[in-house]
Structure 1
Amino acid sequence: MKHSFVCGNPALDFAATVRSRLGTPLEMFSSPESLDAWFRESGIIDGDTQFQPADLEQAIVIREAIYSLVHTKIAGDDYDGDALSIVNDAARTPPAVPQLTPDGRVTEATPIEALSTVARHAIEVLSGPDVPLLKECANHECTRVYIDRSRGARREWCAMDPCGNKMKAAAYRARKREEKLVPAAGK
């Protein structure tokens, strides 16, 4: 599996497909095939959507609109009108629809249907009961937003691997450096 799904909602995971937005951004959608793989790995579809370069461009526009809306919601600010229009327009088209076959359930979709499904997930998370649970990862290099369903809502990182482990290791190194300085200062 090339992509990670730790945010608790497909739209949040979709928005997180640019890693380290504050540092050196890493684009996970480098080709139509990588976008197709994301949709399969997310479980939104089972087959190939046959994304084309124009579909990839549209997916990135929708992703950035979702990212903007999520961060605006967390900040308590007013939504950007353009981002709202992009997500709402995408959600207006038919979504991916599961079908029952003799072999079980299959969800195939056109690129537009797959993107509509993600836009609908964004609308659900941004207007539903999980809004108070939205948090940004405490790793300053990570810009993922996740749904914190932990006991007491005390989760700090999008995931232990890599963010939690990285932050805990940095805190440990800082404590060890401090311990070295304290005895030297007491002499």
Structure 2
Amino acid sequence: MSNVSLPPIFVADAMGIDFLNSRATPVDTPVEWLGSGEDLIAWIKAAGLAPADVLQDFKANASAGELDAVAEQARSLREWFRGFVHQHKGKALKVSELSKLEPLNRILERDDTFGQIGVGKDEATGSSRFVWVEKRRWHSPESLLLPIAREIANVVCNEDFRLIRACEGHACTLLFVDRTKSHRRKWCSMAVCGNRAKQAALRERMR
């Protein structure tokens, strides 16, 4: 598996599924985006899951070994959820599966979030208004797992597992939620796997 040479890929239309795509084979070569603590911070920054100043603080003050240990935990969480998704994708997720989500709930119970009143914009009028802002206390590098766990929980609670698909591209392992009206999405990206499939079909017809 290669070191990170590509920017993180976000094609799933659900961040919890994009987290699974942090280890993938998008174009023939397997890529691991969470191979180290610094890789994990870079992926979280690209995903917008933690404030930039928090990530910079952890990068500057945590030891390399401490961050690498959190990256290892993130990879373990990812592979646990990958198994869960592959087992249940394509069919309705039943509440009887709750016991299988215990590893995720154990992480979620560590969360230390709170809300505050802030100022935001009313999208309809463009004027300023008070809004509820959710914040988190980032006690240690392990806190970086919490927004990821929340995104995974969002997939479990709010996504239709019948619409979770695997890209049909040759050797591609990317997953996504099919939000198309016809629910016939086949590719992680038309620009990559879709285009390659069209080219292959054209070559086959020319033969």
> Do the two structures share a fold, i.e. TM-score over 0.5?
yes
Structure 1 residue 41 corresponds to structure 2 residue 46: yes
Identity %, equivalent residues: 30
Which residue among 79, 85, 94 is the counterpart of 2:111?
94
Which residue among 4, 7, 17 is the counterpart of 1:2?
7
Classify the secondary structure of the residue corresponding to 1:169: helix
- Counterpart Cα distance in 2 of 1:176 and 1:33: 47
Q: Please, what is the CA RMSD of the aligned residues?
A: 3.2
Cα displacement string for residues 74-132 of structure 1 (whole angstroms, at most 9, x for unaligned residues) = 165996x7x73332222222167787889xx8878443333122122212212324322
Q: Tell me if structure 2 keeps the 8 A contact 1:99–1:107.
A: no
- Counterpart Cα distance in 1 of 2:177 and 2:186: 11
Q: Tell me if structure 2 keeps the 8 A contact 1:44–1:107.
A: no
Matches within 5 A, 1:115-154: 115-154=145-184
- Counterpart Cα distance in 2 of 1:97 and 1:56: 25
Structure 1 residue 28 corresponds to structure 2 residue 28: no
Q: Tell me if structure 2 keeps the 8 A contact 1:96–1:114.
A: no
Q: Tell me if structure 2 keeps the 8 A contact 1:45–1:107.
A: no
- Counterpart Cα distance in 1 of 2:80 and 2:34: 15
Change (3 A) 1:97 1:39: farther
Q: Tell me if structure 1 keeps the 8 A contact 2:10–2:18.
A: yes
- Equivalent residues, number: 173
Unmatched segments (≥5 aa) in structure 2: 1-5, 60-65, 120-132
Shift of 1:2: 1.4
Q: Tell me if structure 2 keeps the 8 A contact 1:45–1:96.
A: no
